[in-house]
Structure 1
Amino acid sequence: MLKSVYVLLAVMTLLTKTVARRTNSDVKLISAKPTEQVRFDCRKRSEDEVLLWRIITKTGSKVERKKCADAGEDPIDVRKKCVDERYGYDLIITRINDDDEGIYECTAAIQKEVLEVYDLRIEREAFIPETAYSKDVTIREGGTAKLWCNASGYPVPNIKWQIVELDSNGRESVQDIGIQGKLLNIQNVSRHCDNWYRCVASNELSRNEASQNIRIRVNFGAMADFDVYSDDRDDQCGDTVDDLGEKLGVNTSRSYYIEKKQGVRLSLVCSGSGSPNATIEWFRYQGGNRIKISTLGLGNQIVDTKQIGSFVSAICPSLFQDERRFKISFVVLDDKFTKYVCRASNEYGVDEMTITIKKRP
């Protein structure tokens, strides 16, 4: 009597999961932990019916037809064996592994009729494969950012999203944002969305949550601002804001201006925020003409003009992310009582602010 089998001789283990025998082709879900033993039942409808097993896994599709008595001659995975009885044609896998996950079909070879279908899932803690999540995203302000994260494992993992903020010492502050699922969709992105986002996955087997950080980088147009300091110490910025000297109040009633006596030393600090980093320029008006004093370019390159003979420039520490600060300092003599322009620019925008140094009566 002709008999068929998927594959061959194996050593039985004590751990066995058996699926209830059915006579229809509905898919039956079965799960097991790695190294356990699984048994797939398939019942013949007559003693001489010829059956075969077809297996579809991530490693490919395979059909084997073998007599049980000849099984040892075939170099098939020895973890698999047939149980070929008068009305039974069952498949047993000992010590299952990840490669066994897939669809198992028991088919009547002659009639080409599927009798049993099993979906085998390997039980594992949730994990996030290296290729299963978005890489860092750069997007222009106002656009839509889409982050995705596919977790593996069984039972099917739950996924949630968090924002991860880092303080100046590199310490994390984590906050759930109330979004669950594989996709995080942020519309009308603002510069405040520029941050690290964390995909967190877990299931019933997870002893520790699996996580992956994804960065959203938001590009936005440059913005300019300035501060004025009384500078009686040196021409450098120092390491902190306090090193710049005394910050002076600026009159903003109609236009920005400050009144100082002749002979005092001042520092004007231009703050240029933007992503990509802003180029910062200082100008002044002389004889009705706008003249460039100095430029802070990319790579912290300072380009001074012939005006620099009476001005000293320096790069100051940034106060926050995506900001650069550029200082000019000078002694206020007669020709220095004029308008000064702080200009910040990048590929997405240009912004300027003007302050007037007035002579105090």
Structure 2
Amino acid sequence: VGWVKADTKAIQAIHDHVITHNPRVSVSHSDYSTWNLHVKNVQEEDRGMYMCQINTDPMKSQMGYLDVVVPPDIINEDTSGDVMVPEGGTVKLTCRARGYPVPHVLWRREDNVDLVIKEPSGVKTKVSSYQGEILKLTKITRSEMGAYLCIASNGIPPSVSKRIMVNVHFHPVIQVPNQLVGAPLGTDVTIECYVEASPKSINYWVRDTGEMVISSERYEVKMVVKSIFEVKMVLMIRNFQQRDVGSYRCIAKNSLGEVESSIRLYEIPGPTRKVYQPPYDEEDYVDQYGSAEREEEEEQSNTLVQRAGVIPTLGPPALGTHHTYTENQVPFPPARGGGPRPGTSRSSDLQHGQVLIVGLLPFLLALR
């Protein structure tokens, strides 16, 4: 039995003897009826057709194919590395891989954000992944900045990938949600600025006096990272006082430029204080009510007098008394129970009797 590599016509072995100089090749048999050719640590050059021949007349042979598969591997020297590009520019990313079968290459973003493919005609297409060795990003924007993955696979595990960082450079930009902030004295006040910059900017606060604001007992300065190129600047002023009123500038600087924005902080009145009203005195309330009742009775009496006219008194007043009534006044009627009415005297009672006599005089004359 002989073994031959068909494509190269190289004899591998005859009977028990290995002819090739390849130390990885060996033969075995079982009772001289079953023969085997062994290839250890298979390499790509071992791929191809193998033929075993039986030395009979006529000769008999059988063919077999050895397929050697190779998992994918990225060729680093032919693949792009991290790149920097100005905003609005164009970047071309290349990823090459080897393996057998020939691997295919797929691109996607590490953060799973859609890729924006721009055609020369101006048509934009958003895709979750892009297949091909070359990925071209034209008129690139800051939102396209980030890590890109090129993934090579050919069905033979494992798949491999390479991470390529795309940095888009632009000068700083500041956005201020509220440029005028008011707060009552004694409260904690927070003001904010949103900064976008690449490369990363140096960010700080400055008062209108030129004093730089740093974290202390009065101030708390924080930077909150929102994305790869966006930062939120936060300044909290504790126990806001009159001396804190004024302008605060947020400033951002990087190698491409500097920008600032201003926030005006002012005082607003605090919550109004409630004035305590003591409860009314019940005794005073009764006295007031009695006074109003008396005034109402006086108004009714005055009305009667106005209708009847002024009633003259009969003779001079009693000795030692002197009380003058105006046109709209009449004496108070006697108090119930025979007691004097508050605010009246005995002389006023005499005057009241005189008025009654004068009122009854016409009636007595008519009876006669």
TM-score, structure 1 normalization: 0.49
Higher relative contact order (CA 8 A, sep 6+): 1
Q: TM-score if structure 2 supplies the norm length?
A: 0.48
Structure with the higher fraction of residues in helix conformation: 2
